[in-house]
């Protein structure tokens, strides 16, 4: 589905140029569940931003479903992001003044047509992340884990082929981490969504079927785990929460 060839990215700030990616070849197949890992400065976020069409490579080729996208206009990239991709960020990036449902419906503001059943789809997406009882809460009234699940629902609502998640569990405690990972694993397993996430947490990496490691802008290893950890099982093994015990 995604085919990167010889991708380089060089940041130029004034006269200083900082190379971030030095020729990356990487394929993502439909249905992959991949973690991109590496020390900070390895270029793992950059490679995901390029795959998610949030950033352009300095050089190289990117085929999305066989279509070269490096030459597309900004508007063309925006349309692809809108219709074929979903995004989850480390710090959620929800609109603080909008309800959970409004936040989830955000991608439809920019879709070519506003679907007649948009609200229904928003409810379904929030139900899929277990937040059907939080439709009209604002981010300030939700826990961090709940906020990130709203963000996952927002990534889901357009029914994209691939979900990109940049450190999705970076700001979460262990329980919320398992909850978010359980949702991503279920989307991958039951709905065949391709999931690409960036993390520096090895434990999160163990929940992914494939782990790509970057060092200094190059791919160091690309391994497949036959038996990734099941987030639901991990969640079940946690001691019960205070409020659950009562």
Partner 1 sequence: MPALGGRLGRLTATAWEGVASRRMRSGLAALGLMVGVAAVVLMVAIGQGTRNQVLDQVTALGSDLVTVWAAKSAPTGARTTTSKDKVSLSPADAQALGRMQGVRHAVPGINRGQRVSAQGVTTDTTLVVAPPEIFAVEGHLPAEGQFYGEREERQAQRVVVVGPSLRQRLAGDASLVGQTIEIKKQHFLVVAELAPKGLDPNGNDLDDRLYLPLRTGLSRLLGGRRHVDYITVQGDGSYALDQLQEEIRALLRQRHRLTEPDQRDDFNIHTQLETIQTQEESSRLFSSLITGVAGISLLVAGIGIMAVMLIGVRERTPEIGVRRAVGARRRDILIHFLLEALILGLGGGLAGAALGLGLAGLVRRFSDLSYALPWSAAGVALLVSLTIAVVFGLWPARRAASLTPVEAVRDA
Rounded to 10 degrees, the C-alpha dihedral 10/34/168/150 comes to 120
Closest distance of CB 156 from partner 1, Å: 12
Judged by CB under 8 A, the residue of 97, 143, 202, 221 near partner 1 is: 97
Closest distance of CB 11 from partner 1, Å: 11
Closest distance of CB 144 from partner 1, Å: 14
| Residues 196 and 32: beta-carbon distance below 8 Å | yes
Q: Which of 113, 92, 116, 112 is nearest to 104 (CA)?
A: 92
Residues 6+ apart with CB under 8 A from 173: 144, 145
Interaction pattern, residues 161-190, with partner 1; x per rule: CB under 8 A = -----x------------------------
- Would you count residue 55 as binding partner 1 (CB under 8 A)? yes
Judged by CB under 8 A, the residue of 3, 8, 70, 111 near partner 1 is: 111
Q: Tell me the window of 46-54, 175-183, 184-192, 231-239 that interacts with partner 1 (CB under 8 A).
A: 46-54
Rounded distance, CA 53 to CA 21, Å? 15
Return the SS3 of 196.
strand
Q: Which two tokens stand for residue 212?
A: 């790509």
- Would you count residue 98 as binding partner 1 (CB under 8 A)? yes
Closest distance of CB 105 from partner 1, Å: 10
Q: Which two tokens stand for residue 117?
A: 């059943």
The strands making up 2-13's β-sheet, listed across from edge to edge, are 16-28, 2-13, 59-64, 67-68
By C-beta, is 47 or 128 nearer to partner 1? 47
CB contact burial 100-132 (16+ within 10 A = b; e otherwise): bbbbbbebbeeeeeeeeebeebbbbbbebbebe
- Would you count residue 62 as binding partner 1 (CB under 8 A)? no
- Would you count residue 112 as binding partner 1 (CB under 8 A)? yes
Judged by CB under 8 A, the residue of 38, 43, 107, 145 near partner 1 is: 107
Rounded distance, CA 216 to CA 7, Å? 13
Judged by CB under 8 A, the residue of 29, 78, 233, 236 near partner 1 is: 78
Could you list the residues that contact partner 1 (CB under 8 A)? Answer: 49, 52, 54-55, 74-75, 78-79, 81-83, 87, 89-91, 93, 95, 97-98, 102, 106-114, 154, 166
């Amino acid at each position: 589905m995604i085919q990167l060839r010889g991708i380089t990215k060089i940041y130029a700030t004034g006269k200083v140029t900082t190379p971030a990616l030095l020729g990356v070849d990487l394929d993502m197949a439909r249905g992959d569940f991949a973690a991109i890992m590496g020390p900070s400065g390895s270029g793992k976020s950059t490679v995901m931003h390029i795959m998610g069409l949030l950033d352009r490579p300095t050089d190289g080729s990117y085929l999305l479903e066989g279509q070269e996208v490096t030459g597309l206009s900004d508007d063309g990239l925006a349309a692809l992001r809108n219709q074929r991709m979903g995004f989850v960020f480390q710090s959620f990036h929800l609109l603080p003044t909008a309800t959970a449902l409004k936040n989830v419906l955000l991608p439809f503001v920019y879709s070519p047509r506003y679907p007649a059943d948009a609200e229904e789809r928003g409810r379904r997406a929030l139900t899929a992340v277990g937040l059907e009882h939080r439709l009209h809460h604002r981010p300030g009234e939700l826990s961090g884990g709940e906020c990130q699940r709203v963000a996952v629902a927002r990534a889901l609502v357009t029914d994209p082929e691939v979900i990109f998640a940049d450190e999705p569990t970076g700001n979460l405690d262990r329980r919320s981490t398992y909850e978010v990972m359980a949702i991503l694993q279920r989307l991958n397993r039951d709905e065949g969504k391709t999931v690409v996430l960036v993390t520096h947490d090895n434990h999160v990496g163990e929940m992914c079927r494939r782990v790509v490691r970057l060092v200094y802008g190059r791919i160091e290893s690309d391994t497949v785990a036959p038996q990734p950890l099941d987030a639901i099982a991990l969640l079940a093994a946690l001691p019960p929460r205070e409020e659950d015990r009562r």
